[in-house]
Structure 1
Amino acid sequence: MARQELGPHSLRVAQRVAEMLDGVEAAVVGCSGGPDSLALALGAEWAGRRPGTRITAVIVDHRLQSGSDRVAAETAELLAWRGIDAVIRRVDVRDTGEGPESAARSARRAALLEVAQDRPVLLGHTLDDQAETVLLGLARGSGVTSLAGIRPRAGSFWHPLLEIRRTTTVAACREWGVRPWHDPQNADPVFRRSLVRRSTLPVLEQDLGPGVAEALARTAVLMQGEDAVMAGLADAWLARHAVLPQDLAGDQSLPALPLPTLPLPDLVSEPRGLARRVVKAWLQRAGVESSFVHVEAVLDLQHARGGAGVDLPGARVTRRGRRLELNPGDESLS
């Protein structure tokens, strides 16, 4: 299909993918068969044709709905008809407490990475998905990192369509002459994102006027810049101040732990926002997930006596004199 044969919507999708794939020899596209990912796959095939970029579509069958195997097979056939190599990966979704949406996402991403190896994985998240992500983060009372939403490039996962509305991908599929699959779960209000998509955002658009989704997506872009600045400041602070206990000459009160300790007076003398980011980064480096409540409790150890501590998932932070130490729990940090 020549460039001039594309309609305005499909051309816009294809051009955005082409910009992100510039210089890439091979890429994987996650494709559910829905309008966003189907338009992405067709756009990637178009974008990769001239430079010779090899495109492989991966269809992940979560096996959570009746007939999911049929949907996966039909999507693979459609992609093959359009000249796109496609593979199907069936996964077992195990909810270990993070919720069904997160469990399915984790299983899906693991399957995509397994196929991709070192190649980038393109995902079809749109401006609407970005707006929903920011709104959900606001509802949870999240900080800058969460409000920064979906990054254009997050490790192996790339998102070329974050500036494109969902209506554009639907129209692009129509121009390409393909019929996408519409996931019934996207209309199920039991899922928070579906509720935001079908109810909350339309009500906001109705009450506040058009442009709410674009404004929320713009907030994500702004927060991504702020988050990068704060992450850099936290990393620099840790590089200056965090030390291993064995490097503290003359301080025999601290055991020889493999994890860095933090000087509490220096930490709490910083603005609270930076101190929070330092503690969060310190814990993340050790593989410890922490909430706002956890971080606040760690900082509040400035008011506690020596030996006082805060229990975290799989770890404990303890005040030892003028320093904070992080001790692995029974389920081990390594």
Structure 2
Amino acid sequence: MPGAPSALHSARKAAGDMLDQQGLTLVACSGGADSLALAAAAAWHHQRTSGPSATARVGGIVVDHHLHPDSVEISGRAVSQLKDLGLDPVRIYPATVRSDSPLGPEAAARTGRYQAFREAMQDLGATRIMLAHTKDDQVEQVLLGLARGSGTRSLAGIPAARGPFRRPLLDLSRADTESICRHHGLDWWDDPANADPRYLRSKIRTQVLPYLERELSGSIRESLARTAKIAAADADYLESQAKDVFPALLEDPDHTGALRLKLKALRAEPPAIRRRVIALAVAAAGGPNPSFERLSATEKLVTGSRSAGPVELEGHIRVHRGARQSPDYGKLVIVPPSG
């Protein structure tokens, strides 16, 4: 298209690669520049009459968190622009945001948002949802991971694909999405919360990153985005190795549903694999991904701690080492909540 920013062509290609050619893909739109730019890129495929994406169906979902006094007007304007772009169907879904969430307002909003996404997929028969995270979001996520000290997977940042969710714009910047919006004459909304330093991510965006660019390197964003790609490849490989090892170390569960891992073989695995196998066993027992502290305490049961446990994990999962002269000797036992 003459005069179109180069970012638009990149966005169209990335969106096309992630569309479900056989089903309905929804674009999640907040009314901000990132999500409107993604909607414009996806809509181009929706409107095509020839080529590999000619049959692609693209709709839109606007999630209203009701956290801003003008949220109804903002959501309505987003819906109008999505329809003008040709997306169909387009719906608004409310998000339930618990004000008393122990995880804080950002996590509470995210939980409510993803619940709305899944509800929309079920109601509309969609198979995928596209989310408009950009390179800037990725960089912020890497810094959050560094601050939390939470390992390779956290440094890998935001995945391009997980379950039904796709993120085509991770190689584009916010400046790119704004140029796409200007090209299409789209009127985006700047959420004031994005610049509010009371929120950790906003503080990273408005204070930490500008400081690092000024004092450390003007190319810090590119460096952190590259770190995320390298860490993601490493994490994917280690997780695939752990998934291959896990079945060989796992014994058949008994009537209580408890899982047992062969202790000697688990101890022989490299730490990076061993920790991931333990996490897989915890997930198989119905627990959430264990924190680093709880996972480290569990690993000590494997590597020679005098204590045989139990170690209490999140989700009421208990882990202990089998006692001598018991049927569980030489095994790491993961007991589910009902066990």
Q: Same fold (TM over 0.5)?
A: yes
SS at match of 1:119: strand
Offset of residue 235 of structure 1: 1.5
Q: What does residue 51 of structure 2 align with?
A: none
How far apart are the structure 2 equivalents of 1:236 and 1:304? Answer: 30
2:223: which partner in 1? 215
Give how far 1:24 is off: 4.8
Distance 1:22 1:298 in 2: 41
Q: Which residue in the other structure is 1:8 paired with?
A: 6
1:57 corresponds to which of 54, 60, 68? 60
Higher mean C-alpha displacement, 187-196 vs 96-105: 96-105
| Cα deviations by residue, 1:30-62 (Å, 9 ceiling, x for unpaired) | 000000001001111012221132211100001
2:297 match: 297
Give 1:82's aligned residue: 85
Query: Match for residue 26 of structure 1?
Result: 24
Q: 1: distance between equivalents of 2:127 and 2:61?
A: 13
What residue number does 2:105 align with?
100
**2:273 counterpart letter in structure 1:** L
CA distance in 2 between partners of 1:285 and 1:134 (Å): 28
Question: Are 1:116 and 2:121 counterparts?
Answer: yes
Q: Is the 8 A contact 1:60 1:72 kept in 2?
A: yes
The farther-off stretch of 165-174 and 316-325 is 316-325
The equivalences for 1:179-194 within 5 A come to: 179-194=187-202
- After TM superposition, list the pairs within 5 Å mapping 1:32-181 onto structure 2: 32-50=30-48, 51-85=54-88, 86-94=90-98, 95-117=100-122, 118-181=126-189
The answer to whether the Cα contact below 8 Å between 2:285 and 2:335 also exists between their aligned partners in 1 is no
Residue 126 of structure 1: CA displacement? 0.4
Q: Secondary structure at the match of 2:127?
A: coil
Q: Which runs of 5+ in 2 are unaligned?
A: 49-53, 323-328
Cα shift readout 1:87-116 (whole Å, capped 9, x = no counterpart) = 111121125422211121121112112222
2:318 corresponds in structure 1 to 316
217-226 vs 186-195, which moves further: 217-226
Q: 1:114-141, CA deviations, whole angstroms, 9 ceiling, x for partnerless residues? A: 2223421000000111111111101110
Work out the CA distance in 1 between the residues paired with 2:9 and 2:269. Answer: 50
Aligned with residue 328 of structure 1, among 325, 329, 336: 336
Change (3 A) 1:22 1:87: closer
How many residues are aligned here? 319
Q: Which secondary structure does the structure 2 equivalent of 1:181 belong to?
A: coil
Asked whether the 8 Å contact 1:153–1:159 carries over to 2, the reply is yes
What is the alpha-carbon distance in structure 2 between the residues aligned to residue 208 and residue 273 of structure 1? 31
Q: Which residue identity does 2:310 align to in structure 1?
A: G
**CA contact under 8 A between 2:160 and 2:166: conserved in structure 1?**
yes
Superposition pairs of residues 204-243 of structure 1, within 5 angstroms: 204-243=212-251
Q: Is the 8 A contact 1:234 1:277 kept in 2?
A: yes
Pairwise CA distance, 1:259: 3.0
Cα distance in structure 2, aligned partners of 1:11 and 1:127: 16
SS state of the match for residue 56, structure 1? strand
Counterparts of 2:210 and 2:57 in 1: how far apart (Å)? 39
Deviating beyond 4 angstroms after TM superposition, the runs of 4 or more aligned structure 1 residues are none
Q: CA deviation at 1:202?
A: 1.4
Deviation at 1:22, TM superposition (A): 7.1
| Partner-residue secondary structure (3-state), 2:68 | coil
Instruction: Give the match's secondary structure for 2:259.
Output: coil
* Aligned-partner SS, 1:294: helix
Q: Measure the CA separation in 2 of the matches of 1:22 and 1:64.
A: 32
Separation in 1, partners of 2:47, 2:85: 12
After TM superposition, give the deviation of residue 220 of structure 1 in Å.
Answer: 1.3
Does the residue aligned with 1:303 lie in a helix, a strand or coil? coil
User: Is contact 2:5–2:179 with CA below 8 Å preserved after alignment?
Assistant: no
TM-score by length of 2: 0.88
Distance 1:145 1:291, change over 3 A: same
State the 1:260 CA deviation: 2.1
- Deviation digits for residues 70-95 of structure 1 (CA, Å, limit 9, x no counterpart): 11111112222333332111121125
Q: What's the offset of the Cα at 1:305?
A: 4.7
**Cα distance in structure 2, aligned partners of 1:42 and 1:26:** 16
3-state SS in 2 of match to 1:287: coil
Supply the distance in 1 between the matched residues of 2:334 and 2:258 (Cα, whole angstroms).
7
Contact kept, 8 Å, 1:122 with 1:158, in 2: the verdict is yes
* Amino acid in the other structure paired with 1:133: Q
